[in-house]
Amino acid sequence: MKQLLVILAAVLTQTVLYRFSTRMVDNQKAREAPDHVQVVLVEIVRPVINQVIMKNFKEKNVLISGGSSGIGLALAQDLAKLGANITLLARDKKRLSDALLSIKPLTIADGQLISAISCDVTDYNDLSNKLNSLSFDILINSAGIAYPGEFLDLDQEIFARVINTNYLGTVNLTKIVVPDMVTRRSGQVVNISSLAAVIGIYGYTAYAPSKYALHGFSRALRSELKPYGIDVSIVFPPDTDTPQLAYEKKLLPEITRMINENGGVLTAHQVSRSIINGMKRSRFTIIPGIEGKILYVLAPIFDWYFYHFAVRNKQKNIS
């Protein structure tokens, strides 16, 4: 697996260098172009320049679902260091309390607010009652669950629970928080998906569809919200060292374990820093880690490889 990544990375690097060299030639020609052509080029480049202007998180009100552990907690801690006011949302009151204790020492201003709300993202009415009077500049939908296993062995209830939490939970929270952003004509929504939404992996028939749904939701949503000054981002993290990953490992089918064992694992803070850098630049697609970027760019190749790997090993087991 690692050798395949290295080979594909080399091919990708050569392609990028070739394109860069041809663009340099094109840029020289552009400098020699007539004035009216250069004006057109400036107008094309201007949006790109605007994207590079970084956002400042100081005094921004940030709501993070799933903020009591994993990537959500790492984001809360890192954004607190940047001066943001943080509101965590999760079900477990004990974990929320522990999370608050870990975040408060990281604040950089006396008036910085760190708070928590105990709620289930699948309960729309409870969410609405607890959040309708609040206003947020940034919403990060990080709440999610995973339950790997072979399709024939998984109970139907598991599929419903995963899709209700990962997808409909995100829709619920966004539906409640975004109208205020629309009124203020500003805001940012960040949805945490997974590389499982890009490549079909054996053993994730319950989890992957919920993350595919987030991908489609985010793509459609960004065109609706951008006219109101609201940015939407979708994040595709690779395997990340979190309590959720530790839980998953206990349930992985053997073929899934074989696929995953050669892949790298990022820390929650590595993923968090990548997300925050993407948020600063209002990027739509955020992919933490070099392996994740290679997998995303070359998804059809890896999808083909993992498919045949799984089929070949499964046939050995059932023959």
The CATH number of residue 257's host domain is 3.40.50.720
Lowest-confidence pick of 30-44, 83-97, 266-280: 30-44
For residues 19-35, average pLDDT: 45
Q: Phi and psi (nearest 5°) for 109?
A: -140, 150
CA-wise closest residue to 140 among 233, 268, 244, 241 = 233
202 part of the active site: no
The one catalytic residue in 68, 211, 218, 272 is: 211
Q: What is the pLDDT of residues 112-144, one digit of tens each?
A: 999 999 999 999 999 999 999 999 999 999 999
The one catalytic residue in 193, 218, 233, 272 is: 193
Residues 94 and 233 in one domain: yes
211 part of the active site: yes
Residues 126 and 147 in one domain: yes
Q: What is the pLDDT of residues 48-96, one digit of tens each?
A: 444 445 689 999 999 999 999 999 999 999 999 999 999 999 999 999 9
Lowest-confidence pick of 38-42, 103-107, 113-117, 300-304: 38-42
How much of the chain exceeds pLDDT 70, in percent?
Answer: 83
The one catalytic residue in 207, 233, 272, 274 is: 207
207 part of the active site: yes
C-alpha pair distances (Å), 31 with each of 48, 161, 185, 195, 242: 19, 58, 38, 41, 50
**Number of domains observed in the structure of the chain:** 2
Determine the distance from the C-alpha atom of residue 211 to the mean position of all C-alpha atoms in its chain, rounded to a whole number: 10
Residues 46 and 114 in one domain: no
Domain that holds residue 1: 1-53
Residues 73 and 188 in one domain: yes
Residues 314 and 299 in one domain: yes
Q: Is the pLDDT of residue 246 over 80?
A: yes
pTM for the whole structure: 0.82
